[in-house]
Amino acid sequence: MKKQKIWLITGASRGFGLDITKKVLESGDKVIATVRKDAKGLEEHKDNKDLYIVEMDVTDEAKVKKAVRRGITHFWGIDVVVNNAGYGLLAAIEEGTDAEVKRNYEVNVFGTLNVIRAVLPFMRKQGSGHIINISSLGGLGASIGWGLYGSTKFAIEGITESLALELAPLGIKATVVAPGFFRTNFLDESSLTRSEQVIEDYADTVGKMRGFATKANYNQPGDPAKLADAFIKLASSENPPVHLPLGKDAIKRFRDKVAAFEKNIEEWLEVIAGTDLQ
């Protein structure tokens, strides 16, 4: 008989969070679903005894700890954490204001860290668990207009790499998932902000990216249902990867970056290797 896992999924009322929550419930597992305010997306599942919905703002560490404790107490345990809560920022590096960038980091990076710090004492005590952090195509390589948002996802990539090394001796796993473009509401105003400042000199670069984002909305190649299936497989793996890109576009971004990096190394090898003490 399948052992029921207990998942905690942040940002569970829409987008990837909602798709993963539905698939986890279908699989027979339990879900602690956190929402910032609106749980309408989960309305049809609210009577499911395997679903526990709790309000939680990932940027408020005290409230995160309280919400996590409530969820774990409700189901008497925790096995898988999916750090999904976050949003995009489309802007040239120069266009993004200090406040806009800090807010993006507060949610995408520090919010993820708040959840990690809240769940690890329980996982360490039981000697098991799996933390899955969601990165992005933008965390694998840079793109015009996505540098600020992408930098938050680069941070998540690095945090997860170290986390996996630190937690392995404790019986806990860590994976960072980098989805490409999937057909969700990510490019809607509900998940994507655009800098208030628009500098005309970037019209041919970032300006075109803004136009692309508008046209690409709900025309992305990735299937969210298949992404959710991938999360089920990932959580069931005895030996999960530290990095898991999802989508052909994510694979291409990763391989293109590695190839460019290798080319730079070859071209500058004499300088690179010539800096050590003799």
Instruction: Report the catalytic residues.
Output: 135, 149, 153
DSSP tag of 44: G
* Pick from 192, 109, 206: nearest CA to 151: 109
- The β-bridge partners of 51 are 31
* Pick from 150, 141, 149, 172: nearest CA to 242: 172
For residues 130 and 56, what is the distance between their CA atoms, to the nearest angstrom?
A: 20
Longest dimension (CA), the chain: 70
Q: Judge residue 105's burial from the number of C-beta atoms within 10 Å of its C-beta, 0-12 exposed, 13-18 middle, 19 or more buried.
A: middle
For residues 125 and 65, what is the distance between their CA atoms, to the nearest angstrom?
A: 16
* Pick from 159, 76, 155, 167: nearest CA to 130: 167
Residue entry with tokens 């996996």: 164
Half-sphere exposure of 57 (CA within 13 A, CB side): 7
For residues 84 and 12, what is the distance between their CA atoms, to the nearest angstrom?
A: 8
* Pick from 4, 9, 15, 22: nearest CA to 229: 22
Contact 148, 99 (CB under 8 A): no
Bridge pairing between strands 80-83 and 6-9:
parallel
